[in-house]
Amino acid sequence: MRGISERLPVIPTVDDACLRHATYYLNVLGACDSLYMRGGEEIRTGLRTFDIEWQNISAAQAWATANAKENEAAAKLCSAFAFQGWYCLEVRLQPRTRIDWLQAALVAAGSIGDKRMEGWHLNGLGLAYAHLGEAAKSIQLYLRALALHRELHDRQAEGAVLGSLGSAYLVLGHSRRAIECYEQALSISREVGDRRGESVDLGNMGLAHGNLGDLARAIGCYEQAIAIAREIGDRRGESSMLGNLGVAYSDLGEPDRVGLYAREQLAICREIGHRRGEAEALRNQGRAFAALGEHRRAVECYMQSLEIEREIGHRRGEGLTLCSLGSARGDIADFEGAIESYEQGLAICREIGDPRWEATILDSASLALDRIGNSTRALEYAVASSNVRKAIADGSTD
């Protein structure tokens, strides 16, 4: 009997099979991200593979999360899933789902004592909450991540978090503080040879200089960022910088250039399936049509953008689009519709704590209310806008 038993095959347990399945699809996810990182045509290949394998990837991550407490191998996988597919997941997952993955990964990394991954997961959570418009919460997460990466002397990770921190400060109106973060991040990106990070840092600096009214400097930053993005084949980064460049030329009163950059941005975003970028490009296209006096076409673009922003749960983008939609509706004398859009946008701006846009919407809503003869509410909104701007001037821009 003993000789027979020795010849029997070893039958793997369910957990063994699930562990192998999860490990395999973690590697698939990593391969998708590697393709994305190569840029150019490989971006579409990586995302296409991700889409085909999504059900298996999702099931594998779910198993790793469910078993992370009792199984160290599962905990390592759970942590790795949120990191291995960083770029594909950011493009494809809605913020709330991304948060679920990252929170599970953060707990798993803590359970196995992996401080480096804890730092990356904290940064990822900060970015996800930033997409929901929760800048103050993002800052808390970024500061925790920054402390960990500095403790570990991980310069590249430190630079990435500093860039994220700067963006959170920028949303809250702290433009000069944001520039300080971006300058540190840019210095580190150049020190470690991170060209993608360098491009992102330059683009972010452009936004901050634009907020301070230095459009020439902003455009210079965007043009450098676009050149690097094209050099390394970063289509998503290129599309984002094209959008920012269009906004700068909009502020300079050059709608034709705005429209050109918006069309290029939209084409790239649709090519790679980047829905948040598509919504932004449509908003920029609407801005160009509005500047050219084609207000009904502007409304159409803003409505398409709004539909996408709501679909993906991007609250800040939804608020920005509602503000633009209100302006376009006012331009076609739909003042009731304009006020409705402004009030919806105002609620979102107050919810997420974006004072600059809050003041802008209050001013616009005040004008629309005045046009329909509601002078009392128009005055209330004008006073509220003045108070917000005073609060910004009293210290939130430095």
**pLDDT of amino acid 396:** 47
User: Could you list the residue range(s) of the whole structural domain that residue 104 is in?
Assistant: 14-113
**pLDDT of amino acid 356:** 78
Q: Is residue 184 part of a domain?
A: no
Query: Cα-flanking dihedrals φ and ψ of residue 153, to 5°?
Result: 60, 40
Tell me how far apart the alpha carbons of residues 238 and 236 are, in angstroms, rounded to a whole number.
5
Q: Is residue 221 part of a domain?
A: no
Q: Is residue 337 part of a domain?
A: yes
**pLDDT of amino acid 395:** 54
**pLDDT of amino acid 3:** 41
**pLDDT of amino acid 349:** 83
* CATH number of the domain encompassing residue 319: 1.25.40.10
Q: Is residue 1 part of a domain?
A: no
**pLDDT of amino acid 1:** 36
- Of 47, 63, 323, 316, residue with least CA distance to 170: 316
**pLDDT of amino acid 386:** 87
pLDDT digits (tens, 9 = 90+) for 359-394: 888 888 888 888 888 888 888 888 888 888 888 776
**pLDDT of amino acid 290:** 92
Low-confidence spans in the chain with pLDDT less than 50: 1-12, 396-398
Looking at residue 10, the DSSP 8-state letter turns out to be P
Q: Is residue 150 part of a domain?
A: no
Q: How many other CB atoms are there within 10 angstroms of residue 275's CB atom? A: 17
- Among 61, 90, 113, identify where a domain stops: 113
Residue 261 amino acid letter: Y
Tell me how far apart the alpha carbons of residues 136 and 141 are, in angstroms, rounded to a whole number.
9
Tell me how far apart the alpha carbons of residues 358 and 283 are, in angstroms, rounded to a whole number.
18
**pLDDT of amino acid 4:** 40
- Among 89, 113, 137, identify where a domain stops: 113
What residue has token string 């939609």? 325
Q: Is residue 228 part of a domain?
A: no
**pLDDT of amino acid 6:** 45
- Among 79, 98, 113, identify where a domain stops: 113
Split into its structural domains, the chain has a count of 2
pLDDT digits (tens, 9 = 90+) for 5-57: 344 444 445 578 899 999 999 999 999 999 988 877 888 899 999 999 999 99
- pTM metric for this prediction: 0.73
**pLDDT of amino acid 165:** 95
Tell me how far apart the alpha carbons of residues 267 and 340 are, in angstroms, rounded to a whole number.
31
